[in-house]
Structure 1
């Protein structure tokens, strides 16, 4: 049978190891990825969740397939050029996303093309 002193030592050891693990987890977080893992687009038709990882690794889509404005290895945010509403010289964000995403899905024969498939959240 285990003595009371052995149980106290085991409990103290468990607490010390838990605190050590928690301290190491807080002190040494994993590095942030270079690009966002997921993006949530908020809009009137319903939120759209986009995952870079799935498109990049599973579908082998390169950065240049979507980010057509890469200069000096720097990728710009779509909103830097595509404003909420577009004009003759530059399509708005909604039109640009629909053309880029739906067009690629149709060209590749994969991915959703129906509105409620992306605007599901």
Structure 2
């Protein structure tokens, strides 16, 4: 059987290794993505899942192709400006998304244009 001093030494070594592992994991963990990978839009017509990777990698779109007022990596919510106010000058978020998404899909034949193709969940 193992002696008491050897057991204490083994527990001490295991504790040091555990703490070292936790510190290393926290120090070298991968950074969080700057932009969300996928967004789930909650709408009256059903949820819409939007995948950034499809649009940026498969269709080579730049962030500014859709996000027209990004300043120095500043994040914002579209609804901050595109509220449901009925203002003809500033379209609602719904109208802005429909115009941008459906317009691009129709122009390039690269995505769905029917309601049920996006509002599926």
TM range (shorter): 0.7 to 0.9
Q: Is the 8 A contact 1:39 1:50 kept in 2?
A: yes
| Farther-moved stretch of structure 1 (97-106 vs 28-37) | 28-37
- Report deviation, 1:76: 3.5
Question: Which residue of structure 1 aligns with residue 6 of structure 2?
Answer: none
Stretches of 4+ aligned residues off by more than 2 angstroms: 22-30, 70-77
The 5 A counterparts of 1:39-78 are 39-72=39-72, 74=74, 76-78=76-78
Q: Which residue is equivalent to 2:106? A: 106
- TM-score, scaled to structure 1: 0.73
**SS in structure 1 at match of 2:39:** strand
1: CA distance, partners of 2:109 / 2:88:
30
For the aligned residues, what is the CA RMSD? 2.4
Find the counterpart in structure 1 of residue 10 from structure 2.
Answer: none
Structure 2's unaligned 5+ residue stretches are 1-13
The 1-side partners of 2:24 and 2:39 are apart by 25
Given that residues 86 and 92 in structure 1 are in contact (C-alpha distance below 8 angstroms), is that contact kept between their aligned partners in structure 2? yes
**1:34 and 2:20 equivalent?**
no
Q: How many Å separate the matches in 2 of 1:120 and 1:76? A: 26
Scaled by the length of structure 2, the TM-score of the pair is 0.73
Gaps of 5+ in 1: 1-15
Contact 1:67 1:76 in 2 (8 A): no
